[in-house]
Chains A and B, each alone.
Chain A
Amino acid sequence: MEQWIAMLLLISAIWLLQIRKISDSVPILAFQSFVLALTAGAMWYETKLSHLLIAALLTLVVKAMIIPAILHYTIKKIDVHRQVERVTSKYTSLLMAIILTVAGFYVTSRLHLPSTKFGEPYLPVSITLVFLGAFIMIDHKKALMQGIGLITIENGLFLVAQSISYGMPMMVELGIFFDMLVTVVIIGILSLRIHSTFESLNIEKMSNLKG
């Protein structure tokens, strides 16, 4: 069961590399966060640790609902039909994603990370999510997509903490959620300003500062 949930997370991250329109990224991201909430919920079900339930609910509300809503609003203001632009072709990026996935599983097996009983199946996927998130940031040329990559990295880190120790202490976890929310708001604000100034979200247009 856990393996299947982990696979869903992996697919969502790879999918983010294959989209055609920027607006497609929002439902995929919401789906990814929903699955993430599911993993925390499953761990809560097995262990009955109350802070896991809170983490699951917060993930559901903040990451799977509010953050996608903010991103959706931002994209709607810019242009819903805008196509993504990538550095590599669609097939190269798929190949890279597969290589990174293999690397993620390999690194995890070599690191001998201690893990909790019910978190263990997610560990390789969580590390892979961090890798894939970084690759999304590098591969996509649209400013907003870098934000999406950043959220994927954060999702990966959340899962690392979950599978190693059932999450960070509750208060810290709350602080991290708050930070995520503010980050997304500011990514939204800056994307809008970038779009209105450069008439584009392509980060290659922003290369005036050198030396």
Chain B
Amino acid sequence: MIDMGEVSLLLIIPLVTAVLCWKINIRIGEKLQIVTALLNVFVGLFIANNVFFHAPITGWHRLIYIDALSAFNVMLIVLIGFVASLYSVGYMHHEVAENIIDAHKVRHYYLWFHLFLGTMLAVSVVNNLGFLWVGIELTTLVSALLVAFYRKGTSLEAAWKYLIMGSVGIAFALLGIIFLYLSGMDLFGESADSLNWTVLHQAAKQLNPQWTLIAFIFVLVGFGTKAGLAPMHFWLPDAHSQAPSPVSAVLSGVLLNTALYGIFRIYTIVNTTLDGKAAPYLIFFGLLSIAITVPFMLVQHDLKRMLAYSSVEHIGIITLGVGIGGALGLYGAVLHMFHHSMAKSLLFFTAGNINQKYHSKRMDRISGVIKAMPITGSIFLIAAFAITGTPPFNIFVSEFTIMRAGFQSGHLVATVLFLLFVVLIFSGMMYYVVRMAFGEAPAKLEKKEIDRWSTIALFLPLIAVVVFGLYVPPFFQEIIQQVAFVLQGGKS
């Protein structure tokens, strides 16, 4: 049995790192934040390991509750967080060298960046749905400052849109949580525990079905705004394209998952109460999100915007997978969460390198990436093949699993549409990617990588993208199955 020491460590490390980076010399600070981020990977994986192979963790008067779903999200946050902090060092060196940002602004970047990671970790480990809401709102507030980091007109526009849309959306989610509180009030009375996920989950069958349905719709729209589900996704391409690239990677790779985590937590309660009647909503919003990206993908001219739209698509796929449900559908959805995080953050890292090399995000000004930067260029091509679901890479496995689940459970129309959209998106995206990757690089471009830090960082997600496409280790299958089991509403 694990005591709360490790959990406090998990939450305190990002906080301390943030403050230290802000206060001490940045030369030391930037190295230090890599070390602490790595330390948090160990703490996070240690906790996750305990949860997956022993028992869920609970403590601090049941304020903290970590089951397989939470541990899975913690695992993703610490891993992507570490890679992003590694990448940030090289990225920021280059931005400072190019005089795009002042050297003394960099510590503000690390301050907000690590606070951002900390808030997401907090969201994943709390038991009380009220605190979950508070945490998700905090992630918006902190990351809005990161989106506005460049202080240009466009980044301010994106940050403002993000802040306002995110806050209004999340206000709806609060209304949903109030209704959920209401639905259990006849059972529990007015006690602080009655917003605890564990309590609501145990009593799910006895909750008032009318209120839980209304609560779920509000939560789906509210947190769905944060997760980038269509038609509430309008802030997403702006924010993801304007933020510094390592932040885009974290936004796409884990923030969207964290918002989905909020939806799924409540979904597991509500779906039990409503006896499966909540699933069609997820299928609808999931499919809509995939469909809406098709036209935007075909006419895109900005590299990072294209990647952002691809995130809308993949969040749609995960939501669709959970909506289809069943052991197989949920397995595919959870697997897809992991694979998307890895592949998309990898793409944003490479896009950041390309961006800094060509001084442009416009895809028609980028060509010959493989010649200009052999490592980044090849990894970019691999990651792009992976994200569009090409075998033998990882996303193919999870998309295929979801499709199989869809056919097996009789969601024929939804699955065929899904297949069609994925093919269209593949052709749209590959058209641009191939043109960027191959061809002649502009003559005046120096043939060299941006920075060794931002090149090293590419390899960890790359391993996941390549290896998990060919072979899913048994321990990893076990983990995914446990998370899927929690999503199914089972006791873990």
Binds A, one of B36-44, B94-102, B157-165: B157-165
Distance A193 CA – B160 CA, assembled complex (angstroms):
10
Instruction: Kindly supply a per-residue 1/0 record for chain A positions 153-171, scoring 1 wherever the CB is within 8 Å of any chain B CB and 0 otherwise.
Output: 1100100110011101111
List residues of chain A with CB within 8 A of the CB of B156.
190, 193-194, 197-198, 206
Q: Are B151 and A209 in contact (CB under 8 A)?
A: no
Q: Are B195 and A190 in contact (CB under 8 A)?
A: no
**B238 lies within 8 A of chain A by Cβ:** yes
**B174 lies within 8 A of chain A by Cβ:** yes
Binds B, one of A6-14, A66-74, A177-185: A177-185
Residue of A at shortest CB range from B193? A169
**B181 lies within 8 A of chain A by Cβ:** yes
Q: Are A150 and B164 in contact (CB under 8 A)?
A: yes
List residues of chain B with CB within 8 A of the CB of A207.
157
List residues of chain B with CB within 8 A of the CB of A190.
144, 148, 156, 159-160, 163
Knowing A164-B182, A168-B130, say if A208 contacts B157 (CB, 8 Å): yes
CB distance from B217 to the nearest CB of A (A): 13
Secondary structure of the A contact surface, majority rule: helix
CB distance from B71 to the nearest CB of A (A): 23
Question: What's the tally of chain B residues with a CB closer than 8 Å to chain A?
Answer: 47
List residues of chain A with CB within 8 A of the CB of B130.
168-169, 171-172, 175-176
Instruction: Kindly supply a per-residue 1/0 record for chain B positions 50-94, scoring 1 wherever the CB is within 8 Å of any chain A CB and 0 otherwise.
Output: 000000000000000000000000000000000000000000000
Q: Are B168 and A134 in contact (CB under 8 A)?
A: yes
Distance A195 CA – B350 CA, assembled complex (angstroms):
34
**B145 lies within 8 A of chain A by Cβ:** yes
**B296 lies within 8 A of chain A by Cβ:** yes
**A29 lies within 8 A of chain B by Cβ:** no
**B15 lies within 8 A of chain A by Cβ:** no
Query: Looking at the complex, which one of B178, B296, B302 makes contact with A157 (CB distance below 8 Å)?
Result: B178
Instruction: Kindly supply a per-residue 1/0 record for chain A positions 106-139, scoring 1 wherever the CB is within 8 Å of any chain B CB and 0 otherwise.
Output: 0000000110000000000000001000100100
Distance A146 CA – B160 CA, assembled complex (angstroms):
10
**Interface contact tally, CB-CB below 8 A:** 124
List residues of chain A with CB within 8 A of the CB of B242.
209
Q: Are B160 and A206 in contact (CB under 8 A)?
A: yes
Knowing A160-B175, A187-B163, A190-B144, say if A197 contacts B134 (CB, 8 Å): no
Question: What's the tally of chain A residues with a CB closer than 8 Å to chain B?
Answer: 42
Q: Are A137 and B134 in contact (CB under 8 A)?
A: no
**A203 lies within 8 A of chain B by Cβ:** yes
Distance A35 CA – B167 CA, assembled complex (angstroms):
23
Query: Looking at the complex, which one of A134, A170, A171 makes contact with B131 (CB distance below 8 Å)?
Result: A171
Distance A165 CA – B153 CA, assembled complex (angstroms):
44
Query: Looking at the complex, which one of B145, B151, B194 makes contact with A186 (CB distance below 8 Å)?
Result: B145
CB distance from A40 to the nearest CB of B (A): 15
For chain B, residues 115 to 145, give those with C-beta under 8 angstroms from any C-beta of chain A: 128, 130-131, 133-134, 137-138, 141, 144-145
Closest 4 CB pairs of A and B: A172-B130, A175-B134, A169-B192, A206-B157
A residues touching B (Cβ–Cβ < 8 Å)? 113-114, 130, 134, 137, 143, 146-147, 150, 153-154, 157, 160-161, 164-166, 168-172, 175-176, 178-179, 182-183, 186-187, 189-190, 193-194, 197-198, 203, 206-209, 211
Q: Could you name 27 residue pairs across A and B whose Cβ atoms are closer than 8 Å?
A: A114-B182, A130-B175, A150-B171, A157-B178, A164-B178, A164-B182, A169-B128, A169-B130, A169-B195, A171-B131, A172-B195, A175-B133, A175-B134, A179-B134, A179-B138, A182-B141, A183-B137, A190-B144, A190-B156, A193-B156, A197-B152, A198-B156, A206-B156, A209-B237, A211-B296, A211-B301, A211-B302
Known: A193-B151, A211-B300. 8 other contacts (CB 8 A): A113-B182, A114-B182, A130-B171, A147-B164, A169-B190, A183-B137, A190-B163, A211-B301
